[in-house]
Structures are given as C-alpha cells and as structure tokens.
Structure 1
Amino acid sequence: MDLVETIAELDSQPNLHAARLLVLISAFSDVQQQEALEGLTKLAKLDFLLRYPVMLERALSAKGRSTRDVQLKDYERLSVESQMVRYRFGPWDHRYREFLNILIGKGLVTVRTEGRKIVIALTENGRELALKLSANPEFQDYARRSELLKRHFNLKGTSLMNFIYETFPEVVSLRSNERIPT
C-alpha cells in the first residue's frame, strides 16, 4: 500500500476523527462548571484550524498572535493531508454529525439543543478519555493546539465563521471538491 492509499484509509476511519474531536471538545468543556462547546458551526470551524495546522498558523498571524506554540512540523507543511478540499460548506468535513453520533453512542458527549444551537458537552467518561488521549504522544499536538484555539478563537460560531472567511477568502471562491492552496 502506498502513502496516498494509507492516508485515504486513515481518513475513512471515523473513530480517529471522533477522537480528535473529543480532544477539541475537551478544551472547550468543563464538566464541573457545566461548560460546553456551543454550535456545530463553531465545532466545524475550530476543527478546520485543528486539522490543518498550517491554517491555524495563518489564523494566529492574522490576529497578530505568536505562532510559536503551533509547533508546526515539516511533514505537516508538506504532507498531502495539508492539502484541503472545499466541501459544500467550506473546507470542513460534512461528517460531523456522524462523528458526534459515535461520541454520543460511546457515552463520551451529550448533545442538546438550545433554540437552533447544538450544545456539545463532555460526560465524565468523555473527560477521562480526552485526558488519556491528550497524554498520548500521537494526540499531544491536537491537545496543545486545542488549548491554543480555546485561548485565541473562543468566539461565537458566526464570529468565528466570519473571521475564517475574511482570513481565508480562497475557501469561499473555489468550487466544491477543489483543492485549497495552503
């Protein structure tokens, strides 16, 4: 199996995406204080920045913030995974509901609606697993970058969406399934 096939196989593994999202949700949640991540739009935009650290670096620069803590690795700049594809609603994956359902089914998050907004909260089991994942060397970059996102991009979903569209106008102008230059 070649590298492209390996990456395609990894991308088709919903549990890996769900694990990354769990680490991200954890950074924006506190079980004791009943903090939760508010909105599927916010989740998708934050995950865009987490999944594509080259874009996180650009976003931090656009806000005049240090990019030092992104700790971008050479392979992240050059890998085929850093090539984003424009989906129906931008460069974010259309499978978020699937990934959330996996997390709900495993008892790791709860989801409730407040008006039209979806509120995603960790369960105690979710918090424990997120802590274990964050300590795992394979997920430490996600954990560190999720904390950066909490510190610098803890905005309302619409504000975050507007920031991304202003900072990355190329995500709006491309046709569906076109690669987004990084």
Structure 2
Amino acid sequence: MLNLPFLFPESDINLRLARLLILIDKLSRTKRGKLVLNLGKIAIFDFLVRYPQVLYYTLDNNFSFTVREYEIGNIDSQYPEVALVFNYKETDIVLKVLLAYGFIEVIKNQKDIYYIITESGQKIVEELDSDYFFRVREIVEAIRPLQKENESELRMSIKHNIKGV
C-alpha cells in the first residue's frame, strides 16, 4: 500500500502565505484602481477562499461559480469556523510574514491601511502552478464582485449564509 502524505492547508504556513499572496495580487485594487484590501477584507476573503461553499451562497448564485464535491464533503467544510470572519489575529500574523519577506507592502491613507503585492510577490504568484493554486485563483476571481461591499455587510452575509451550509 502506498502511503501518500496528507496535507491540511490550514496547518501549512507556506500554503497560507501563497494563498494570501494570490488574494492580494488579484483583489487589492478594483478595476478602476481603488485600493480595497485592508486587514478585515483580507480575513473575510481568505475565509471565503477556505470555505467556497459559503462563497457560493454569499454570491446568491448570480455568478457562474460552482463548488466542487471535494470542497463540501469534509467535516471542516460542513462546520465553517465563523470566528475567522471576526478575529483577524491569524491573518495579521501571515501578513506580517509576507511584509517581512518583502512580498507585500502597506499603503496608508486617511481612511485605512491597505495591502498591495510587490514585484517579488508577483514573481512568487506566477510560479504557483499546482492544482490547489489554480483552484484558489478561480475562487479569488469569483470573489471579485464582493470587493465593493463593506466589511460589515460581508460579515452579516457570511454569518447568515453559514446557517444555510
């Protein structure tokens, strides 16, 4: 019998770093160039990448996004960790690591602190070519319509939709 290693994405820091890099690369700015990714939105969007079935219900089926069977057939997906939508501590730690490596940078304005990807971060994203990262990119693209929503609306929608999962 061949024993293949099983990797739970949330327990691997490298996968989490790469997932946030993809998210920041694709969603840090709107199509018009407006900065939108602050700590709260990054945590919320990362939650939606982690739980695509919640994203599916949050989008109200208005967009062509499908959840794959393997994404809903495990205990983690059936009981999403809703605290992640309100507690940004883990996301903040991962962002600090990305900042320390120079893969992202911070832009401060009068309203908030926003995160954008650097050139070296973009090079890393371009090299991510596994099936897992292709799927992360698909999910992140599905999140794009939610960029314009404010954090409290997103949290309320997610909380409402988790009960429906």
Q: TM-score range by the shorter chain?
A: 0.7 to 0.9
User: Is 1:128 the counterpart of 2:128 in the alignment?
Assistant: no
Return closer, same or farther for 1:100/1:115 CA change in 2, 3 Å cut-off.
same
Partner of 1:165: 156
User: Is 1:113 the counterpart of 2:108 in the alignment?
Assistant: yes
Q: 1:155 aligns with which of 126, 148, 155?
A: 148
Q: CA deviation at 1:46?
A: 1.3
Instruction: Give deviations 1:101-153, integer Å, cap 9, x for gaps.
Output: 111122110013223511101111111211222x3322011111111212x11
Partner of 1:86: 82
Q: 1:65 aligns with which of 48, 62, 65?
A: 62
Partner of 2:3: none
Return closer, same or farther for 1:89/1:144 CA change in 2, 3 Å cut-off.
closer
Partner of 1:55: 54
Cα distance between partner residues in 2 of 1:160 and 1:34 = 19
Structure 2 counterpart of 1:95, one-letter code: E
Give % identity: 22
Residue segments in structure 1 that go unaligned for 5+ positions in a row: 172-179
Q: CA deviation at 1:34?
A: 6.9
Partner of 2:131: 137
Cα distance between partner residues in 2 of 1:81 and 1:50 = 13
Residue segments in structure 2 that go unaligned for 5+ positions in a row: 1-5
Name which of structure 1's ranges 162-171 and 96-105 shifts more when overlaid on structure 2. Answer: 162-171
Cα distance between partner residues in 2 of 1:141 and 1:88 = 21
Structure 2 counterpart of 1:154, one-letter code: Q
TM-score (norm: length of structure 2)? 0.79
Cα distance between partner residues in 1 of 2:160 and 2:33 = 35
Q: CA deviation at 1:93?
A: 5.5
Instruction: Give deviations 1:2-53, integer Å, cap 9, x for gaps.
Output: xxx953xx423222211101111111247xx976443111111111211110
TM-score (norm: length of structure 1)? 0.72
Structure 1 counterpart of 2:62, one-letter code: R
